Structure 1
Amino acid sequence: MSFQNVSCLGGNSSINCSVCPKENMTSWGHTMDQLYTFFYLIIFIPGLLGNSLALLVLCRFIRKKTKAIIFMINLAIADLLHVLSLPLRIYYYFNHTWPFGKGLCLLCFYLKYLNMYAGIVFLVCISIQRCAFLMHPFCAKKWKRRYDVRISAAVWLVVGLCCSPFILMRSSSDSSSKSCFKDLPTRKLNLKLAATMMAFAELLGFVIPLAVIIFCSYRITQSLCSGLQAQQSESDKRKALRMVLVCTGVFLFCFAPYHINFLLYLMVSQDVITNCPMRLVVKHFHPISLCMASLSCCLNPIIYYFLTTEFRQQLSRHGSSVLRGRLMSLESSSSFRE
């Protein structure tokens, strides 16, 4: 977005924003492209391998779909969708041109936010289910796998619809444009509509999920300290607490910086904030916060491995069987040669 024709107040005088930040924003634009390129290159392979392996193990080798496994599968799908779009993002930021058409550009742009908010909701679902099953073990026994499937379908539908404004705000009438992602023009909105969208996104996408995850952590900690819920062992309580605390940590590290900066960034994009230094700080931090959000694609598989006993057991068992098969094939080929 250009800073031209924006009046910035600096002290007692009015400063033209087209003068003060122009050179800085030009150099930062090049730095931003390099940041996106190298960061996406770094997370692509770990994200692809981690989430592909997670889906393989969760879907094929875990028969008992309890302990939020269905939600973990959907979380891995959300991460994998974003990871698969990274090569196209890397191509654009490296070559500074987009030859693949407007539709694919908007789809990749959309997948970024779909991954973010679907990931947030599924982290919340994992935390709620672990907490609820710990507090009410008899209800857990009656819980059906199809309930989780229906909840997951509802999450995809609602999140998919709620993320559509992100591409509507970035759509342009120029179908021949070679720009994409951060270089897409932002549509101007009236102040009331912009404020409504801002409040809606922050409340449903950050504040309420954060409050729910913290509440789940508090309830499990309270149960662990008070010795209530005798039906559950201390080990189960500690496992549930670790799961929810790690979900909280991933949530705060990956998504809190983006949502804190998002309020300011939207006000900058709509020219509500006109102070030059403030606009520069917000715009500079925006790509960093997006990179931190993308890092969840690599961190979420850690949840599956270190906090789900069944995942570790099945992965170790499968890995051992593959290793034994290869050793047997090597022994047979060696015997044949002899």
Structure 2
Amino acid sequence: MDPINTTNMPVPANCTVNTSYRFTYYKISYSLIFMFGVASNATALRRFFHMPQTFTSTAVYMANLAVADIFFVISLPLRIYYYHNKAANTNHTSDWFPGATFCQVTFTLKYISLYGGIFFLVCIGVDRYFAVVQPLVQHLRKVHNACILSVGIWFLVLALSLILPFLRSAASHWHKSCLLDPSSKRHRVIILTALGLVQIAYLLPALLILFSYCSILQRLQRLPRRRKTRHRRTLIIIYWVLGVFFLCFTPYHLNLLGYTLTQVGLVQSCGLSQVTKVLHPVVLSMASAKCCLNPLIYFFSSSLVHKQVAGNRESGCQITEVLN
């Protein structure tokens, strides 16, 4: 969620902090994310889709993860335009002319990308879990099943994004802002319901991805030293996915939780309110940067698969790798 404009909510008395810098910060950070996101996704996907014999369940999830990233990248120019006008107009008037439809699409694409990215990172982790820890249930990793699950995830992501129109309908000054969520005191239940859904959409995947990769790491640790060396790239991928997931998504959801609870008056803490307001542009940019970091997952995976296929051709036998 973008920060909710809660000027009418029961925030602590005399608890204000200057966050006017956020418009310039967003404009610069989103411009950098857009440039690196386009370049990295184009380069990594070109390499990924040219891999031989890689149409597996993992490839299906990675392709969907790339689509989720692209959704956010294509929405960035309008967001950059919005924040550019915000930074230029001190009165913050006439800051959005493309129309409410473009605004809603731009706003919603962020959530589709954010939670689509979370869910498909989890799918990759669970898929790896069945490949390494539970190899006897390989039927769960069929491409057909991966495609069906991916379609279900997209429906789930779209359903979660339906909370946005409810927040919009609760807006007290809809015409004054586009990408913020203006709400009023009487809509506390709607805000807390949306917050609960958002936190669940993060916590459950976080637990699943921790369980999957910790189980894989335990399995790999029991291998002889010589076989561990063969899985070095696999370990790099595991650590990278965990790092991207928790570095990008955890600060954002923790900050959002503290911010919302202070703004609706459930937590009376001026310090927490000020800190979360100041940190929000930073953690939101960190969450957005995942579209620049995910392509490295494709890069490492494609390198591993190329190496695996080359080994198969030389030895004439099928080699089972952790990433296939």
Give the TM-score category using the shorter length.
Answer: 0.7 to 0.9
Which residue type is aligned with residue 200 of structure 1?
Answer: L
Unaligned runs of 5+ residues in structure 2 are: 87-94, 308-324
Partner of 1:332: none
Partner of 2:299: 305
Partner of 2:310: none
Q: Distance in 2 between matches of 1:187 and 1:107?
A: 23
Partner of 2:259: helix, strand, or coil? helix
Partner of 1:181: helix, strand, or coil? coil
Q: Distance in 2 between matches of 1:123 and 1:236?
A: 23
Partner of 1:125: 123
Q: Distance in 2 between matches of 1:3 and 1:142?
A: 50
Unaligned runs of 5+ residues in structure 1 are: 9-15, 314-338
The 1:293–1:167 alpha-carbon spacing in structure 2 relative to 1, beyond 3 Å, is farther
- 2:42 is the alignment partner of 1:44: no
Which residue type is aligned with residue 294 of structure 1?
Answer: S
Q: Distance in 2 between matches of 1:126 and 1:36?
A: 30
Which residue type is aligned with residue 123 of structure 1?
Answer: L
Q: Distance in 2 between matches of 1:146 and 1:235?
A: 33
Give CA deviations for 1:28-53 in whole Å, capped at 9, x if unaligned: 22x00011000011111110122233
Give the root-mean-square deviation of aligned CA atoms: 3.0
Work out the number of aligned pairs and report it: 295
- 2:243 is the alignment partner of 1:253: no
In the TM superposition, residue 174 of structure 1 has moved relative to its aligned partner by 8.6
Partner of 2:175: helix, strand, or coil? coil
The 1:53–1:61 alpha-carbon spacing in structure 2 relative to 1, beyond 3 Å, is same
The 1:4–1:120 alpha-carbon spacing in structure 2 relative to 1, beyond 3 Å, is closer
CA contact (8 A) 1:134 1:237 kept: no
Structure 1 range deviating more: 128-137 or 148-157: 128-137
Counterpart selection for 2:182 from 181, 185, 190: 185
In the TM superposition, residue 106 of structure 1 has moved relative to its aligned partner by 1.3
Q: Distance in 1 between matches of 2:41 and 2:184?
A: 35
- 2:48 is the alignment partner of 1:58: yes
Select the structure with the greater relative contact order (CA < 8 A; seq sep ≥ 6): 2
Counterpart selection for 2:203 from 195, 200, 207: 207
Q: Distance in 1 between matches of 2:163 and 2:185?
A: 13
In the TM superposition, residue 207 of structure 1 has moved relative to its aligned partner by 1.8
CA contact (8 A) 1:78 1:114 kept: yes
Partner of 1:308: helix, strand, or coil? helix
Question: Which is greater in Rg?
Answer: 1
Matches within 5 A, 1:96-111: 96=86, 97-111=95-109
Which residue type is aligned with residue 54 of structure 1?
Answer: A
In the TM superposition, residue 142 of structure 1 has moved relative to its aligned partner by 7.9
Give CA deviations for 1:220-272 in whole Å, capped at 9, x if unaligned: 122122249xxxx6466544443332211101110000111121122234233
CA contact (8 A) 1:62 1:310 kept: no
Partner of 2:217: 221
CA contact (8 A) 2:10 2:185 kept: no
Matches within 5 A, 1:1-338: 1=5, 3=7, 6=10, 8=12, 16-17=13-14, 20-21=15-16, 24-25=17-18, 28-29=19-20, 31-59=21-49, 61-66=51-56, 68-96=58-86, 97-140=95-138, 143-171=141-169, 177=175, 179-182=177-180, 184-186=181-183, 188=185, 194-203=191-200, 205-227=201-223, 234=228, 237-309=231-303
CA contact (8 A) 1:78 1:119 kept: yes
Q: Distance in 1 between matches of 2:115 and 2:230?
A: 29
The 1:171–1:63 alpha-carbon spacing in structure 2 relative to 1, beyond 3 Å, is farther
Structure 1 range deviating more: 67-76 or 116-125: 67-76
CA contact (8 A) 2:11 2:264 kept: no
Q: Distance in 2 between matches of 1:69 and 1:5?
A: 46
